Amino acid sequence: MVVGEFTQETDLVIIGGGPAGYAAAFRAAELGVQTVIVDSRRDGALGGVCLHEGCIPSKTLLHVAEMIDQAEHPTQLGVSFGKPKIDLAAIRSWKENSIKKLAAGLESQCKKHGVERIQGRAHFEDSRNIALLDSTIPRIRFRRALLAVGATPKVHANIPFDGNLILTPGEALKIDLVPKSLLIVGDDYMAVELAAIYSSLGSAVTLASPAERLLPEVDIDLARPLIKRLESRLSGLHNGIAVAKAEIDGKIARVKFEGPEAPKSGKFELVIVANGHVGNTRGLQLEKTKVELDSNEFVGIDAHMRTADPRIFAAGDVTGAPLLADKALHQGRIAAEVIAGKATMFDARVIPTAIFTDPQIAWCGLIEEDAKRQGVEYAVARIPWGASGRAVGMGRSEGLTKIIYDPHSQVIFGIGMVGFNACELIAEGALAIEMGAVLTDLAATIHPHPTVSELISDVARQATTHHGNS
């Protein structure tokens, strides 16, 4: 680095140390680009929201919830473990230690690649310089900059976060306590994952969905088994209702609801609001650059991760939906390669989505509702997991595997599944669509037996047989 009296210079400055940021930094360094990461976390640890408040803690806690639920399940198989004893402090310790191990791994990668890290809060002075607050470095002059600052929870107009009784999903994952009564407001995957975690830990959970059904973005065939399970486990699951008002009364939140079938009110020890996200761009002073934002403060980019400002790129959640870490990692690497002069672009046909509840839901490509809405001619093949010897033997036959395909060419448009460990199985579907596979490709692929994965080839084979006889 070239250090002047007031200004440090670098080829690439990356603002944000989450998946998009560190993936871009490591790839840029591999390609010989002088790289600095600026991140505002006071502890200096990389990983962003995904590692510290999102993906990793939520999936760690969902695994704990799954083990608690599985302790009840074996009774039908002739095995009884008794009621699980929950040590909340030990659970928190395991979660935090897992995060620390992964953060240490990222620190090691920084050293390996020679990426410099600077703690501080950045804002743009213009399209060539950023100023830093709360940092030992006051200013950085750059040739290129990458925005990887992520997204932040959107505030609900009638239920503002207070960090005490009304929490963001990230705050709720700290698991400071297990409330006797919990209200979760939301209809997306975060809402259902939190409902699964807290209900397994012993909370009486009420889930209030503003949509007409829970998980409206998920194929209904895939969502149905999870919704059925939640209905049996939660204290209340209400669709199409809104929160009109929330008042804090000591250690209780009093909530009033609106909707044709909504309860009038309720008292809860804790409220979690999953109300979507906005781009985490406030305070960056992007108005001093040519970067353009949409109505939700997300940054506009092209397929090369370029913003409207030729010197500034963006990747990850700050670029808008879908807000997924796998997309962020991929975008970060692409941005680094473009900055290094490589001819590359974001051209993924599909981005797989996974919901780590019990049962799990995973899909990629086109879902049936979208095909109808877009006027796409399609056909559907489904197979219940009751057809799987493995699923039946585990007592987990509630699942389903589904393929959406072109009825003429038999090219696969989308693959989805719901069931035990579905999230570990969806990668085959993503690969199939990326390679332009047709039904016969999946049908002819030998899968190990007995496994749930072989249902992908089974359902493809059934579809080809049906079309061959029609």
Q: How many CB atoms lie within 10 A of CB 350?
A: 20
Q: How far apart are CA 30 and CA 26, in angstroms?
A: 6
Q: Tell me if 331 sits within 8 A of 315, measured CB to CB.
A: yes
Can you spell out the DSSP letters for 405-424? E-TTT-BEEEEEEEETTGGG
Last residue of a domain, one of 275, 290, 311: 275
CA distances from 135 to 13, 36, 40 (A): 15, 14, 9
Closest by CA to 459, choosing from 421, 424, 429, is 429
Do 200 and 111 share a structural domain?
no
Mean pLDDT per 10-residue section of the chain, whose length is 470 residues: 68 97 98 96 90 94 90 75 87 95 95 95 97 94 98 93 94 93 96 96 95 95 96 94 90 91 89 96 97 97 98 98 96 98 95 96 96 96 95 93 97 97 96 97 96 96 74
Q: How far apart are CA 299 and CA 329, in angstroms?
A: 17
Do 292 and 241 share a structural domain?
no
Do 125 and 83 share a structural domain?
yes
Q: Which domain holds residue 235?
A: 166-275
Q: Tell me if 201 sits within 8 A of 86, measured CB to CB.
A: yes
Do 458 and 408 share a structural domain?
yes
Active site residues: 449
pLDDT the model gives residue 106:
95
Do 240 and 315 share a structural domain?
no
Residue 348 lies in a domain: no
Cα 414 to chain centroid, rounded: 19
Q: Which pair of structure tokens corresponds to residue 61?
A: 């806690």
Do 181 and 146 share a structural domain?
no
Amino acid, single-letter form, for residue 152:
T
Q: Tell me if 249 sits within 8 A of 256, measured CB to CB.
A: no
Q: Which pair of structure tokens corresponds to residue 442?
A: 């999946």
Q: What is the DSSP letter of 155?
A: P
pLDDT the model gives residue 197:
96
Last residue of a domain, one of 312, 339, 366: 339
Residue 191 lies in a domain: yes
Do 92 and 132 share a structural domain?
yes
Last residue of a domain, one of 291, 306, 339: 339
Residue 345 lies in a domain: no
Residue 382 lies in a domain: yes
Q: What is the CATH number of the domain that holds 271?
A: 3.50.50.60
3-state secondary structure 185-242: ECCCHHHHHHHHHHHHHCCEEEEEECCCCCCCCCCHHHHHHHHHHHHHHCCEEEECCE
Do 254 and 188 share a structural domain?
yes
Residue 240 lies in a domain: yes
Q: Strand order of the sheet with strand 412-419? A: 353-355, 360-365, 412-419, 400-405, 379-384
pLDDT the model gives residue 116:
95
Do 313 and 265 share a structural domain?
no
Do 197 and 329 share a structural domain?
no
Residue 335 lies in a domain: yes
pLDDT the model gives residue 470:
44
Q: How far apart are CA 418 and CA 156, in angstroms?
A: 31
Q: Which pair of structure tokens corresponds to residue 225?
A: 């088994």
Q: Which secondary structure element, helix H or strand E, spans residue 326, and what is its range?
A: helix 325-339
Peptide bond before residue 359 is cis, with ω within 30 degrees of 0: yes
Q: What is the CATH number of the domain that holds 458?
A: 3.30.390.30
pLDDT the model gives residue 2:
45
Residue 160 lies in a domain: no
How many domains in the chain? 3
Dihedral angle, C-alpha 70, 75, 78, 80, nearest 10 ° = 80
Q: How far apart are CA 312 and CA 466, in angstroms?
A: 52
pLDDT the model gives residue 467:
64
Peptide bond before residue 322 is cis, with ω within 30 degrees of 0: yes
Q: Please give the sequence-ordered ranges of beta strands (E in DSSP) within 150-295, or none if there are none.
A: 151-153, 166-167, 181-185, 204-209, 236-239, 242-249, 252-258, 265-268, 270-273, 277-279
Do 148 and 237 share a structural domain?
no
Closest by CA to 435, choosing from 381, 369, 363, 365, is 365
Give the burial class of 251: count Cβ atoms within 10 A of its Cβ; 0-12 exposed, 13-18 middle, 19 or more buried: exposed
Do 9 and 116 share a structural domain?
yes
Residue 36 lies in a domain: yes
β-pair type (270-273, 277-279): unpaired
Closest by CA to 86, choosing from 59, 67, 58, 73, is 67
